[in-house]
Amino acid sequence: MRASRHLCYVIALLVLHVGCTPQAVFPPDMQEKIDRTISVDVLKRDPNAYRGVKIELGGQIGGSTVSQNEVRILARHLPIRTHPVYGPVDIGRLQGMFVIRYPGMLTNQDLQHGNMIVVVGTVLGAVSDPISGASVIRPTVQAQCLHIWRTGGAAIEDFPWPPFLQGYSPLVEAIYCVDSDNTFLTTS
């Protein structure tokens, strides 16, 4: 009896631990060698010093341009949170802008202004880009993988009941990696 009770406690703790651990959304090889100590604040000071470094940044889409073989995304930097849900979180202050270059196509729904995004890629340095109308030099990342939440400006944790919609709305997520099949998830 005592052993079975102990076993139940162990199983409950394992289930709780697995349920609270953030899931890796990118392939394991993309997670390797990421320097998570580099923020947009650090990049703004000297983006060229980090050229070629693999980083992970979170943000909110502010605009995009699409050409034949590349998508360029202007993102407002947001910190990445792992609890209670994984993803970028708006902390109420501007932390800087950066540009993402992705060598492929994305859907219009994924490029919608206000959607949340996480990018894993290498720093290209300070690159002049006219994505916002005027050519501005911004830190630029060459994406290897993107994770996009179709939030339309709402917080990720607001789903499935975002305040701007009447009723239930599942959160759609998309994961794009260079030379891989795209993944679309419906959560909530």
List the one residue out of 120, 130, 116, 126 whose CA is nearest residue 51: 126
Predicted TM-score (pTM) of this structure: 0.82
Q: Count H helices, E strands: the chain?
A: 3, 9
pLDDT in tens, 16-26: 333 444 456 78
pLDDT at site 17: 35
The CATH class, in words, for 24-187 is: mainly beta
pLDDT in tens, 116-172: 999 999 999 999 888 877 788 899 999 999 999 999 888 888 877 766 666 677 889
List the one residue out of 48, 50, 52 whose CA is nearest residue 126: 48
Mean of all residue pLDDT scores within the chain? 82
> What are the φ and ψ backbone dihedral angles of 158, each rounded to 5 degrees?
-75, -15
Cβ atoms of 147 and 157 within 8 Å: the answer is no
Residue carrying structure tokens 């099949």 = 181
- Residue by residue, DSSP assigns 9-74 as HHHHHHHHHHHHSPPP-S-HHHHTT--TT--HHHHHH-GGGGTT-EEEEEEEEEEEEE-SS-EEEE
End-to-end CA separation in angstroms for the chain: 39
